[in-house]
Chain A
Amino acid sequence: MPGYWPHTEAEIAAMLEFLGLRHIDELFASVPEALRLSGALAMAPGRPEPDVLAHMRSMAAANRTLVCFAGGGAYDHEVPPVTAALAGRSEFVTSYTPYQAEVSQGVLQAVFEFQTLVTRLTGMDVANASLYDGAAALSEAVNLAVGTTGRSTVWVSQGVNPAWRAVLATLASGPHHCLVEIPLVGGQTHWESRGDAGRAAHGDAPGAVVVAYPNYLGCLEDLAEARRLCDRTGALLVVAVDPIAAGILRSAGSWGADVVVGEGQPFGLPLSFGGPYLGLFSCRGEHVRRLPGRLVGETVDSDGRRAYVTTLRTREQDIRREKATSNVCTNQTLMAITAAIQLGWLGSNGLAEVATRCAQGTRYCRERLLALEHVAPLVPAPVVREFAVHLPIDAALAVDRLAEEGLLGGIALGPPYAEDGRGLLVAVTERRTRAEIDRFATAVEKVVR
């Protein structure tokens, strides 16, 4: 039987004898007889590695690789060999939470650098060591805002990724946050619209106002207006940023955000069918005692040398238990280290260049599609790294047909973005060539006909 244990039969026998046992089953004497499994587990016996690898390879081969024009929070960016090689070092891969700081300086310093990079990008004072994904970061931000303001009403722009909003809705059902969705008009959040229906139904002032920058349709929001709204109502401003676009856009911090969240997948993580990704979380310094999850701080060792350690631990579940700011324990540290490596590789100018190229590809692709008959902009607002068009046919059908052409054409949009289901959300990264974009435009022309 295959396995990774080192024991020889003779050693097992000797260990049992040492313990005064005759049979290995006697180790389980405390498990009541009546509960024990009488036969084997309902699964096949073990198989050698090469057989299992062949099976896994055959499943991998059953996924068809398509040229990616889809985004929606997961983007096909360049992952250089150097990032993959460094992030794959087994010292990072096979360690755990740095509970013993003296033998964990590698992970701790890498996370400290990650925290610094995130704050420099978002314009915030502190960033944590990671959360599960963008949706988790959003939910934690809302919890922080509700906890800080003592108000459980949360205004969430429909420009925030709908998958994240769905997770937020699931998780908000526990503590009973009241989520009020604010619609987009022309591609930008129409905060006013909350006026009639919203005020009547949820007269309470919000504890948080949540907006995305750029939003789900790729549009730039008026963050100054969102900030003024927060100043008027006393809410915290939570901004969900796209971390690549942040390379060319003003930082959310400079617009007055209190908490900035995001999905860090574009920083060196492959698409991976949706995970493991990287929840980015940063905030103003005054909120640090409500920060969810781990935080690495600099300190000294007993010889006075610079050293790093997880800090402000009394916020966390293992110490504060039911009063903890969050329940997160295992997070996505390896992804945070990967992001630090990737951002180190890109540097200031490389990130700006990637963002610029995405915006150029977006511009070119959008113009190509809008030149087609019956393809129109879905919304008029200016876009940066993703855009939405209105097709003359059902968008899900178009996506299916484009797949037959070897293209992942985007994400089909239905309500509330396109009531008729004919919206298509398209993402163009720095990896897409002009030839691919031309082929894409030709294919769209063909499938919508």
Chain B
Amino acid sequence: MSEGCQTAAGGRASSAPLLGGDEEPTLFELSRPGRRAWQLPTTDVPEVPLADLVPADHRRDEPPPLAEVSERDLVAHFTRLSHRQYSVDLGAYPLGSCTMKYNPKMCDTVAGLDGLATVHPAAPARYTQGWLQLLVELEQALCAVTGMAAATLQPAAGAAGELTGLLLMRAWHEQQGRQRRSVIIPDSAHGTNPASVTLGGYRVLTVPSDQRGCVDLRALRQVVDDDVAGIMLTNPNTLGLFERDIAAIADAVHEAGGLLYYDGANLNAIMGVVRPGDMGFDIVHLNLHKTFATPHGGGGPGAGPVAVTSALAPLLPGPRPVLDAESASYSWEQPARSIGPVHSWHGNALVLARALAYALVHGADGLRQVAQLAVLNANWLRVQLGQLFDVAHEEPCMHECVLSAATLRREHGIRAVDVAKGLLDEGFHAPTVAFPLVVEDALMFEPTETESVQTLYALAEACRRVVARAGVEPGAGDLHHAPRRTPVRRVDEAQAARRLIATFDARPGADA
């Protein structure tokens, strides 16, 4: 045990005050006809009746039926909703694979700069030199971290990056005059990988993990042939383990004429330590919302830039921002054999600006320290939690550790999801549950580097109390009835799917 780890924990949210147990009405219930919040500027533009502006057969009879609320009620409503929401700013969020680290406030300031936020994406390059410089600087930083030659910043999230990468793979093979039909992914892969493979027009070939939790090299060699376009891997993998055989994997795939795709979701573990390019990868996506601390926004926006080797660079989506050294000015350039654009404009630009600011503050040394401390935290937590849960794999982990509630389930009927709900009562966000699929009742903890040892200790102690509750006789105090201290209690997911109510107007009794 580390000294001093039992003092107050900055990342435990168990003191968050939540008033009352009532439901929050919807905007539609708060609405009263004739109420208003909106105010529009004076423009002196001549008024013309709507009837003269829109032909009758195209015109709405009535304004769209939205909601009519005062500004005061609007603010109260959304403020109360925010109080019903856990967040990184509130406390630790050890959601494995999602890298929910603290998001520096400085980056909010950057994203709010007028000179960035008010620029129209179609403005001529001569008037957007600052934006172009920013994008070029970010591309350079990402290439440095990944060991790649060039990058597109267009993909809006990791999955968009994956599909972009697969289309690059397809274009590259077609350019070599080859038709290949399948892409290999390990059984521990994230669900977006196989889904992207299908959208890329490929068939999924799954390779099993071996006992160590890594790609089974023998099984891999058996499936690699000249119909395989490539392999998608994340390293460290979703079990938090580094694929030690990566060089041999790369050789096997390259020898068969395939390409290696790196799912950068787990890059936080290795920044400054090892680069995907040095492992033999040809195409890399990054999740800037994970590794580069851009906030996840309740489910997005993210950014999923894709970096590639020089051989693939001419295929990248365009146009790309480039620096013309001679004139010292920036402009847009269309790559020679581009697969075409993958975003309406230039990608999630304000997310990219945040990521650059984060990269510059950290620099080469800081990014390396990020990885080191992320791995240190995960291992410290792994040892603590290993006393409470089944350990999926005995070895030290990288940035996340995967445990299993299999014994709890066998002995007490307690599943990973019950452990997760119990943790909510303890003032923590839950880990990722039931992923990766290769581990029975998986609990995947990713503490990230921004949590203190005191928070990790408090989290482990919270887990200890939760596990102790597993033996409690069925009744109000048992884990099946957790959580109890949250704004709502266990939510009935089955009913939601059975009786679909996806809008306010679909509620029983609503006159839709």
Shortest Cβ gap from A107 to chain B (Å): 4
B40 contacts A357, C-beta separation under 8 Å = yes
Q: Would you give 10 A-B contacts (Cβ < 8 Å), ordered by A?
A: A31-B242, A41-B364, A46-B365, A63-B127, A107-B81, A288-B500, A311-B496, A322-B195, A347-B36, A408-B120
Chain A residues near B63: list those with CB within 8 A: 247, 348-349, 351-352
Contact with A along B136-159 (1 / 0, CB 8 A): 000011001100000000001111
Chain B residues near A134: list those with CB within 8 A: 344
Contact with B along A102-136 (1 / 0, CB 8 A): 11111101111101110111000111011011111
B268 lies within 8 A of chain A by Cβ:
no
Cα A400 to Cα B357 with chains together (Å) = 31
B387 lies within 8 A of chain A by Cβ:
no
B300 contacts A331, C-beta separation under 8 Å = yes
Given contacts A2-B366, A45-B365, A169-B340, A61 and B130 within 8 Å (CB-CB): yes
Size range of the chain B interface in the assembly: 35 or more
Shortest Cβ gap from A167 to chain B (Å): 5
A345 contacts B74, C-beta separation under 8 Å = yes
A53 lies within 8 A of chain B by Cβ:
yes
B340 contacts A350, C-beta separation under 8 Å = no
Cα A313 to Cα B499 with chains together (Å) = 14
Interface pick from A193-201, A248-256, A386-394, A441-449: A248-256
Given contacts A6-B451, A49-B106, A399-B124, A112 and B341 within 8 Å (CB-CB): no
Q: Which residue of A lies closest to B134 (CB)?
A: A59
User: Which listed residue, A89, A120, A174, A347, touches B163 by the CB 8 Å rule?
Assistant: A174
A103 contacts B122, C-beta separation under 8 Å = no
Cα A112 to Cα B26 with chains together (Å) = 9
Name, among A10, A125, A274, A403, the residue most crowded by chain B CB atoms within 10 Å (CB to CB): A274
Cα A82 to Cα B192 with chains together (Å) = 36
B67 contacts A271, C-beta separation under 8 Å = no
Shortest Cβ gap from A45 to chain B (Å): 4
Contact with B along A43-62 (1 / 0, CB 8 A): 11111110011011111111
A175 contacts B201, C-beta separation under 8 Å = yes
User: Which listed residue, A63, A305, A311, A347, touches B38 by the CB 8 Å rule?
Assistant: A347
Given contacts A4-B101, A132-B343, 7 further A-B contacts (CB under 8 A): A5-B450, A32-B244, A46-B365, A52-B360, A132-B157, A143-B199, A327-B162
B273 contacts A59, C-beta separation under 8 Å = no
Interface pick from B254-262, B403-411, B466-474, B482-490: B482-490
A132 contacts B156, C-beta separation under 8 Å = yes
Which residues 1-16 of A sit at the B interface, judged by CB distance below 8 A? Answer: 1-7, 10-12, 14-16
Contact with A along B78-110 (1 / 0, CB 8 A): 110111111111100101001011111010111
Shortest Cβ gap from A86 to chain B (Å): 4
A297 contacts B69, C-beta separation under 8 Å = no
A330 lies within 8 A of chain B by Cβ:
yes
The 8 closest A-B pairs by CB, nearest first: A274-B345, A60-B115, A334-B297, A106-B85, A274-B121, A62-B130, A350-B38, A46-B363
A37 contacts B198, C-beta separation under 8 Å = no
Contact with B along A5-39 (1 / 0, CB 8 A): 11100111011111100001101111110111100
Cα A16 to Cα B376 with chains together (Å) = 8
B126 contacts A403, C-beta separation under 8 Å = yes
Given contacts A86-B78, A120-B65, A275-B345, A317 and B85 within 8 Å (CB-CB): no
B347 contacts A274, C-beta separation under 8 Å = yes
B299 contacts A42, C-beta separation under 8 Å = no
Cα A427 to Cα B206 with chains together (Å) = 50
Given contacts A31-B270, A103-B486, A298 and B497 within 8 Å (CB-CB): no
Contact with A along B43-85 (1 / 0, CB 8 A): 1111110100111011110111111110100110111011111
B343 contacts A220, C-beta separation under 8 Å = no
Interface pick from A180-188, A231-239, A369-377, A429-437: A429-437
Chain B residues near A344: list those with CB within 8 A: 27, 37, 66-67, 69, 74, 77-78
Chain A residues near B140: list those with CB within 8 A: 43
A-B CB contacts (within 8 Å), total count: 742
Shortest Cβ gap from A106 to chain B (Å): 3
Shortest Cβ gap from A104 to chain B (Å): 6
Given contacts A27-B396, A89-B79, A352-B64, A276 and B350 within 8 Å (CB-CB): yes
Chain A residues near B2: list those with CB within 8 A: 11, 14-15, 17-18
A7 contacts B144, C-beta separation under 8 Å = no
Name, among A43, A57, A161, A294, the residue most crowded by chain B CB atoms within 10 Å (CB to CB): A43
Shortest Cβ gap from B285 to chain A (Å): 12
Chain A residues near B108: list those with CB within 8 A: 88, 93
A275 contacts B349, C-beta separation under 8 Å = yes
Q: Which residue of A lies closest to B64 (CB)?
A: A121
Chain A residues near B134: list those with CB within 8 A: 56, 59
Cα A42 to Cα B486 with chains together (Å) = 47
Given contacts A27-B375, A65-B114, A435-B44, A82 and B71 within 8 Å (CB-CB): yes
Cα A48 to Cα B360 with chains together (Å) = 9
B199 contacts A271, C-beta separation under 8 Å = no
B424 lies within 8 A of chain A by Cβ:
yes
Given contacts A250-B58, A335-B301, A5 and B192 within 8 Å (CB-CB): no
A73 lies within 8 A of chain B by Cβ:
yes
Cα A313 to Cα B502 with chains together (Å) = 13
B429 contacts A64, C-beta separation under 8 Å = no
B344 contacts A167, C-beta separation under 8 Å = yes
B89 contacts A324, C-beta separation under 8 Å = no
Chain B residues near A203: list those with CB within 8 A: none
User: Which listed residue, A2, A55, A319, touches B362 by the CB 8 Å rule?
Assistant: A2
Given contacts A134-B344, A318-B191, A340-B27, A220 and B55 within 8 Å (CB-CB): yes
Contact with A along B447-487 (1 / 0, CB 8 A): 00111110000000000000000000000000001010011
A74 lies within 8 A of chain B by Cβ:
yes
Chain A residues near B95: list those with CB within 8 A: 96, 99
B195 contacts A317, C-beta separation under 8 Å = yes
Cα A367 to Cα B460 with chains together (Å) = 70
B41 lies within 8 A of chain A by Cβ:
yes
Q: Which residue of A lies closest to B456 (CB)?
A: A15
Chain A residues near B453: list those with CB within 8 A: 7, 11, 14-15
A105 contacts B66, C-beta separation under 8 Å = no
Which residues 346-363 of A sit at the B interface, judged by CB distance below 8 A? Answer: 346-354, 356-357, 359-361, 363
Chain B residues near A286: list those with CB within 8 A: none
